[in-house]
Amino acid sequence: MAPKEIEFQTINIIRCLLEDISTDDRCMVEPDGAVNEDQFDPTLIADKLRELADDYDEKVIQPLMKNITQAAADQVVTAFGDSVDSLCKSWVAERAEVSAEKHLLKATIMLGLYVKRNSPCLTGAIQNAMANILNTRLGTWVADQGGWDEVASH
C-alpha cells in the first residue's frame, strides 16, 4: 500500500492526466505558505505520463477496450484492472528487460487515457480504478524510487 503522501500525489496526478490539465494550466495544489521550487507539481508528472502512454498499439488496445465498455457499470473497475494485467503480460513477454512496475505504470496510464478518449462517460470510474491500481500495486515502489518526481524523471 502506498504511503499517504504518495496516495495524495497519485490522485492529483490522475486528475490532471484525465482532465487534460498540463503544465500550461498549472494544476498546482495550493501551498500553505511560500511557494517552494521543489514543491510537487502533478502537472509535470501527468505530462511525462502522457508521453509514456503515447506509443500504444490499437491492435492490442481495441479488444481490451471492448471488454471495459461492455462491462456492467459496477464491473468497470474490475474489467479495467484485468485489461491492465493482460497488457502487462503481453509486454513482459516482449520486453523482459523492463521492470514489471514500469510495465504496470505504462499499461495503467495508456489504457486509462485510451478509455477516456473513446468512452468519456467512463472517466470517473477509470480515474478511481487508475488511482487504486497505482496506489495499491505501485505505491510502495513509487515511494522506494523517491516519489513521483523521480519515477517521472526516468
Give tens-digit pLDDT for 29-85.
444 444 445 678 898 888 888 877 766 556 667 777 777 877 777 788 888 889 888
pTM of the model: 0.72
8 closest CA partner among 143, 107, 114, 118: 143
Q: Which CATH superfamily is domain 4-30+41-153 in?
A: Blc2-like (1.10.437.10)
Ranges of each domain in the chain: 4-30+41-153
Q: What is the pLDDT of residue 28?
A: 45
- Note the pLDDT of residue 102: 87
pLDDT at 117: 87
Give, in order, the Cα–Cα distances in Å from 128 to each of 9, 18, 79, 117, 118: 14, 11, 13, 16, 17
CB 84 within 8 A of CB 104: yes
Mean pLDDT of the chain: 80
Q: How far apart are CA 41 and CA 47, in angstroms?
A: 10
What cell was used for 5?
Answer: 503522501
Q: Looking at residue 34, what is its pLDDT?
A: 45
The string over 51-62, giving b where at least 16 C-beta atoms fall within 10 Å of a residue's C-beta and e elsewhere, is ebbeebeeebbe
**pLDDT at position 24, please?**
67
